[in-house]
A and B are shown apart, each in its own frame.
Chain A
Amino acid sequence: MLCQNCQEHDAKVHVSKIINGEKEDIYLCEECAHISEGLDFGLDFSFNNLLTGLLNNQFHPHHKINLSNHKIKCEFCGLSYDIFSKSGRLGCNECYNSFTDKIDKVLRRIHGNNRHTGKVPKRAGERVMVKRRVKELRKLMDEAVATEEFERAAELRDEIKELKDEIGE
């Protein structure tokens, strides 16, 4: 069983707490238990608290907060990682790209997995594939331009246009 606070180390310490007259059992690693000693831990294991805890990593002694990480911003919606790690809410679909390293790690912790295996929507699914192809072609086109293969670049440009028309962009 993993420590309920940091979700990183094996839980070795069992703490019982009476919260609102109800006994709660909490399992912590030695480090986290040590920190909690003598403090009013005020443990609130609500979903959101667990989540923002994972995003912050700030309670764990093994983790130094990497401040530069917290300055990353999503270019599309302007949300900073700092705000995200406090609210636990992303600002737009692009945020998943903007914070990809962090999010990937957190998703594995929450879901034990980082890859969707369920339903693929028909239209959006197709669009995702086409967009990926467009991205690849763009890269090739840039390369072609850089190496002055203009004929090849024009071909690629047409192909990109065709694909974009297909998905209505």
Chain B
Amino acid sequence: MIDELISQWMKKTGPDSDVVISSRIRLARNLENIKFTNQASEDELKEVINNVNNLLLNDNKFGLNLLELSNLSQNKKNMLVERHLISPDLSERNINNAVALSSEETISLMINEEDHLRLQVLLPGLQLQEAWDLADKIDDYLEQGINIAFDEKYGYLTACPTNVGTGLRSSIMVHLPALTMVNRVKNFIAAISQLGLAVRGLYGEGTETVGNLYQISNQVTLGRSEDEIIENLIEVTHQIITQERNAREILLKEKEMFLKDQIYRAYGTLKYAYKISVEEAMKLISNVRLGIDLGIIEDVESTILNQLMVIIRPATLQVLKGEEMTIEDRHIYRAQLIRERLQ
């Protein structure tokens, strides 16, 4: 499973995938009467893993496979981060943490992250509602076998008060090359924060935005129902989609030559370069994907570009090659992979 290059789900496209790359639901849960991971003893952390393991052994309705992270190389752990299956935090801690993954890697259950359990459902395109429906079912299933910390007033109890209540973080990853080109992203980030939403980089809080990819998620988790939180984000996403599509259309109408020049230059570079950094590659991939979405480039599928965005990242690249590489070697190998896939 994790030995494959990319998650199975990434080979598929979803609704509105010209703008929305993926939809993600994350639920934070803790086991009752076991100290949260920051205060728990080694034995207590083991107990959490055992609880999940027992549940999976008894009845594995969702086909989850448990991986103890201490059994994986740092590169493999980083690769899971690059695929958004575990958090950077979890990849750095060494003992008593694990992740349970479904075969398509749409479901990931992190164990002993900041909270005992962090359930994630990741689907391509705008499928937030679908992702929530699935997460809700898995949550019910977990709760049947595990005592979850819940308070009548505060809801699901979490290690950080910013997650308490629903414990729900819903997010979408959007690709906004046109809005970026016309310098409208700052505006929209400001507007969005007024609506209780946050914009973050590719791998969560404090990470940089690359390749014109932005992650938008809800901030408030208490006092609103799951449906309200999700509806709010879907509503805003529809507006972002419309804005980005408008910007693309206007650019195509008013600046056709500029746009085509940018897109074909990017395509040409990716097809023929022999050395390339992640940053440059991500920028160019963004432009080529825009070209595909606008129908300017017709001989490549956009899912190939989505896959490239993952496999060119340092850890995945090295796992793929089967050895540690210098930066220079990575640049060469990255360019080779891209050339092969764009032929």
**A-side interface residues toward B, CB under 8 Å?**
46-47, 51, 76-79, 87-93, 96, 103, 106-107, 110-125, 127-129, 132
Contacts and interface: CB of A to CB of B under 8 A. Distances in A.
A116 B206 contact: no
A51 to B, nearest CB: 6
A110 B225 CA distance: 16
A123 B140 CA distance: 9
B54 to A, nearest CB: 16
A93 B205 contact: no
B293 interface: no
B223 A123 contact: no
B226 interface: yes
Contacts of A103: 161
Given A124-B150, A128-B151, A106 B161 contact: yes
A93 B166 contact: no
- Most central of B33, B157, B166 by chain A CB within 10 Å: B157
B143 interface: yes
Given A111-B223, A118-B224, 9 more contacts: A91-B36, A93-B149, A107-B161, A110-B222, A114-B153, A115-B154, A119-B136, A122-B143, A124-B32
Contacts of B206: 46
Interface string B152-165: 11111111111011
Interface string B113-135: 01000000000000000000000
Given A118-B168, A124-B148, A125-B150, A87 B38 contact: yes
Nearest to B158: A90
A114 B147 contact: no
B140 A89 contact: no
Contacts of B149: 93, 124
* Chief secondary structure at chain A's binding surface: loop
Interface of B: 30, 32-36, 38-39, 114, 136, 139-140, 143-144, 147-162, 164-166, 168, 205-206, 220-226
Given A51-B160, A115-B223, A116-B166, A89 B114 contact: yes
A72 B21 CA distance: 47
Contact of A124 (B147, B160, B224, B225): B147
* Chief secondary structure at chain B's binding surface: loop
A90 B154 CA distance: 14
B165 A91 contact: no
22 contacts: A46-B206, A76-B35, A78-B39, A89-B36, A90-B158, A92-B36, A92-B39, A96-B154, A96-B157, A106-B161, A107-B154, A114-B153, A116-B153, A116-B164, A118-B155, A119-B139, A119-B225, A124-B143, A124-B147, A128-B151, A128-B152, A129-B152
B108 to A, nearest CB: 20
Nearest to B206: A46
B191 to A, nearest CB: 14
Contact of B30 (A76, A78, A93, A113): A93
A111 B39 contact: no
- Most central of A51, A103, A116, A120 by chain B CB within 10 Å: A116
Contact of A51 (B154, B162, B165, B226): B162
A110 B151 contact: no
B223 to A, nearest CB: 3
